[in-house]
Chains A and B, each alone.
Chain A
Amino acid sequence: MDAFWIILTGSLVAVSCAILGSFLILRKMSMVGDAISHSVLPGIVIAFFIAGSMQSIWMLVGAGILGILTTFLIEFFHQKGRLQTDASIGVTFTWLFALGVILVTYYAGNAHIDQDCILHGEIAYVPIDLIYDSNGNAIGPKAVIILSFVLGLILLFVVLFYKELFITTFDASFAKVVGISTNKWHYALMGLVSLTTVASFESVGAILVVALLIAPAAAAYLITNQLKVMLLLSSAFGILSAFFGYWLSYLVDGSIAGAMVTVAGIIFAICYFIVRFKK
């Protein structure tokens, strides 16, 4: 049963990431996604101390705000400060991450939150943290419920606004001319990336979220020429990574999240060689 919950959690994270990651790659904003996944940390810590507990809703809010702030700061330093984008990303996320780590350590005595868990999470604890209904029966692990909610939100967003995401990603100036605001969709997407990061960080850790954002989507991008297929394929690759990742971690007795990423990397490598070989 534990294995089931762990694979389910991993799959939920992987599918959420794969969908958002596809758009990040096509918008050439992968590294902004990377930056967000690091810089939500102070948001989580501050939310933790405002709410006094690991109450998920506050953490989602805190991370969401920090994610948008990161996106804004990167743009701000780039536009107003004329700092090149790569440096703007690098300075912004390391600064916020450092702030987050300092806050964490400062409060380390009274918190169940530490660097280790943020960096590489612990999906193995997912089945222990259950949510109960009013009769005291276990409904399911908390992480599964939160992640289902996040995935639902992402699916709803992509299905409802597929058209807008498609046009603003492919041709931003044309979108603007026909009256579709590119900025609005940019920030909405980055907000969702932040939500996903924070919802996943307990299980896979912030840095490995980046791998799940990019690797399955990049693999799918290599072997298809259709956006809808790319979204489905990258989700499938995500689920495969979760499944075989669990199996791999069991085999070598190592971190499940690390193993999931390793499998995602292997899937990418296979796609890479298929494409290279065909040429």
Chain B
Amino acid sequence: MSNSFVKQVDNPVLEIHDLTVSYDKKPVLWGIDLSIPAGSICGIIGPNGAGKSTLIKAIMDLVDMNSGYVKLFDQTLDEVRKRVSYVPQRESVDWDFPASVLDVVLMGRYANLGLFKNPRKADKEAAMKALEMVGMDKYSKRQISQLSGGQQQRVFLARALTQNADIYFLDEPFAGVDAATEKAIFKILQNLSKEGKTIIVVHHDLQSVETYFEWVILLNLRLVASGPTPEVFTPSLLEETYGGKLTLLTEVGELVQQGEFKAREKQ
């Protein structure tokens, strides 16, 4: 059967079941079903507009899903928020914001602080340690508006590192950064993976896929494949992923939108 390209694993850290997401009623992800093993570095690959970021946002509960569910460590997101870290796209925030590097990195500790509590010394130490890991400890007082693209990305990663999470989601961390930064970030991700943490990365550069990722998810509105890189990162599956959208699927999606259907009625 064709769905052998989607490999399901036992005891997954991330399990997505039958996930459908729509923007403005139009389905942009159809019935995604996949699972990811613990400790892997996993790349989400697909052409522009394939729904890669949407998939991560759906996992993070930032967009509504029409159907299906997501389980992290066999629990819902709300139950395991503290074990989950998210690095949004660099362009998603306004870097003119009046804040220092340290201010931004400290945000990673907010989840553990709760109302009325301000970051303490221990939090600052954790933030400094994270900055050291990404090679930005000298810049802790620097204003974020003065950072280069690569430095911005490092700061975002440092913020995620302070969370001490068990699973990391990164949305295009290598987009528009210099080669040194890309290398440094990958090194950190590798170390995290060695500690048994799971890393999921939205990625667009096909050249580096085989070097970076042990597990690959091929996505284009629907799930094309999900599995260990050697098995999945094949010319024929790539052709299927990048060979244009399934026109029939797109048209049905538009019909759903015009009809103001919910892509699937919630029972």
Answer yes or no: A and B touching, Cβ < 8 Å: yes
Contact between A160 and B116 (Cβ–Cβ < 8 Å)?
yes
Query: B69-101 interface mask toward A, CB cutoff 8 Å, 1 = contact, 0 = none?
Result: 000000000100100101010001110011110
B59 vs chain A, min Cβ distance (A): 10
Query: B246-266 interface mask toward A, CB cutoff 8 Å, 1 = contact, 0 = none?
Result: 000000000000000000000
- Interface of A toward B, CB cutoff 8 Å: 26, 28, 160-164, 166-167, 169-171, 173-180, 221, 224-227, 229-230
Asked if B238 is at the interface (CB within 8 A of a chain A CB), the reply is: no
Contact between B84 and A177 (Cβ–Cβ < 8 Å)?
yes
Asked if B11 is at the interface (CB within 8 A of a chain A CB), the reply is: no
How many angstroms from the CA of A224 to the CA of B96 in the assembled complex? 10
- Would you list 19 pairs from A and B whose C-beta atoms are within 8 A, ordered by A residue? A26-B97, A167-B110, A170-B104, A171-B107, A173-B60, A173-B62, A174-B88, A174-B107, A176-B60, A177-B81, A177-B84, A177-B86, A178-B107, A178-B111, A178-B163, A221-B98, A225-B99, A225-B143, A227-B99
Q: Which residues of A contact B60 (CB under 8 A)?
A: 173, 176-177
Asked if B148 is at the interface (CB within 8 A of a chain A CB), the reply is: no
Q: Which residues of B contact A26 (CB under 8 A)?
A: 94, 97-98
How many angstroms from the CA of A179 to the CA of B88 in the assembled complex? 15
B206 vs chain A, min Cβ distance (A): 27
Q: Which residues of B contact A171 (CB under 8 A)?
A: 88, 92-93, 107
Q: Which residues of A contact B159 (CB under 8 A)?
A: 174
A80 vs chain B, min Cβ distance (A): 12
Nearest 8 interchain pairs by C-beta: A178-B111, A225-B143, A177-B86, A227-B98, A171-B93, A225-B98, A230-B98, A177-B60
How many angstroms from the CA of A20 to the CA of B78 in the assembled complex? 31
Number of A-B pairs, beta carbon distance below 8 Å: 78
Contact between A173 and B92 (Cβ–Cβ < 8 Å)?
yes
Q: Closest A-chain residue to B111, C-beta based?
A: A178
Interface hub of B60, B86, B98 (most chain A Cβ within 10 A):
B98
B95 vs chain A, min Cβ distance (A): 10
B165 vs chain A, min Cβ distance (A): 10
Asked if B240 is at the interface (CB within 8 A of a chain A CB), the reply is: no
B24 vs chain A, min Cβ distance (A): 8
Contact between B98 and A224 (Cβ–Cβ < 8 Å)?
yes
Q: Which residues of A contact B86 (CB under 8 A)?
A: 173-174, 177
How many angstroms from the CA of A175 to the CA of B228 in the assembled complex? 33
How many angstroms from the CA of A178 to the CA of B77 in the assembled complex? 10
Q: Closest B-chain residue to A231, C-beta based?
A: B98
Main SS class of interface, A: helix
Q: Which residues of A contact B84 (CB under 8 A)?
A: 177
Contact between B111 and A163 (Cβ–Cβ < 8 Å)?
no
Q: Which residues of B contact A174 (CB under 8 A)?
A: 86, 88, 107, 159
Contact between A176 and B61 (Cβ–Cβ < 8 Å)?
yes
How many angstroms from the CA of A199 to the CA of B60 in the assembled complex? 41
Q: Closest A-chain residue to B24, C-beta based?
A: A82
Q: A163-B110, A225-B98, A226-B100 are in contact. Are A177 and B143 (CB under 8 A)?
A: no
Q: Which of B62, B116, B117, B118 contacts A177 (CB 8 A)?
A: B62
Contact between B110 and A176 (Cβ–Cβ < 8 Å)?
no
Asked if B184 is at the interface (CB within 8 A of a chain A CB), the reply is: no
Asked if B103 is at the interface (CB within 8 A of a chain A CB), the reply is: yes
How many angstroms from the CA of A239 to the CA of B111 in the assembled complex? 36
Q: Which residues of B contact A166 (CB under 8 A)?
A: 99, 103, 107
Q: A170-B107, A173-B88, A180-B110 are in contact. Are A225 and B62 (CB under 8 A)?
A: no
Q: Which residues of B contact A226 (CB under 8 A)?
A: 98-100, 143
How many angstroms from the CA of A180 to the CA of B114 in the assembled complex? 9
Q: Which residues of B contact A224 (CB under 8 A)?
A: 98
How many angstroms from the CA of A61 to the CA of B232 in the assembled complex? 62
Q: Which residues of A contact B81 (CB under 8 A)?
A: 177-179
How many angstroms from the CA of A37 to the CA of B57 in the assembled complex? 35
Asked if B113 is at the interface (CB within 8 A of a chain A CB), the reply is: yes
How many angstroms from the CA of A167 to the CA of B94 in the assembled complex? 12
Query: B149-178 interface mask toward A, CB cutoff 8 Å, 1 = contact, 0 = none?
Result: 000000000010001000000000000000
Interface hub of A160, A175, A178, A224 (most chain B Cβ within 10 A):
A178
Q: A227-B99, A230-B98 are in contact. Are A170 and B93 (CB under 8 A)?
A: yes
Q: A173-B92, A177-B86 are in contact. Are A167 and B99 (CB under 8 A)?
A: no
Q: Which residues of B contact A161 (CB under 8 A)?
A: 115
A124 vs chain B, min Cβ distance (A): 36
How many angstroms from the CA of A227 to the CA of B103 in the assembled complex? 10
B135 vs chain A, min Cβ distance (A): 22
